[in-house]
Amino acid sequence: MNEGFCGWCGKPGAEGDHATCRQRLSSIDPPRYCTSCARRMVVQITPSGWTARCSRHGTFRPGVSGPAAGAPPDPAKAGPAGDPTLSLA
């Protein structure tokens, strides 16, 4: 996993259970924390999209996987390393 932190709760992705985080990120929440540094991001939601800006790592938008951006990978469904759901604007 190259995502250090959970985009929903801001805690290290490798620590604890992030099932709720994944569920919220895949349904109703944009990421609020930068997955690289855990800084709180400035999030702007519009009727058909969102942006999340980290002061250190730039602006993120929904990626090809949609609103699941920022969720640590589900260990039960672990695949290739990396979460492609965030893309730098």
Q: Which residues bind another protein (CB under 8 A)?
A: 9-10, 27-30, 32-33, 40-50, 67
Min dist CB 71 to another protein, Å, is 13
Q: Which is closer to another protein, CB of 32 or CB of 83?
A: 32
Min dist CB 78 to another protein, Å, is 25
Min dist CB 2 to another protein, Å, is 22
Q: Which is closer to another protein, CB of 22 or CB of 32?
A: 32
Contacts 24+ apart (CB under 8 A), 80-88: 81/1, 81/2, 82/1, 82/2, 82/3, 83/1, 83/2, 83/3, 83/35, 86/7, 86/31, 86/35, 86/60, 86/61, 87/60, 87/61, 87/63, 88/57, 88/58, 88/59, 88/60
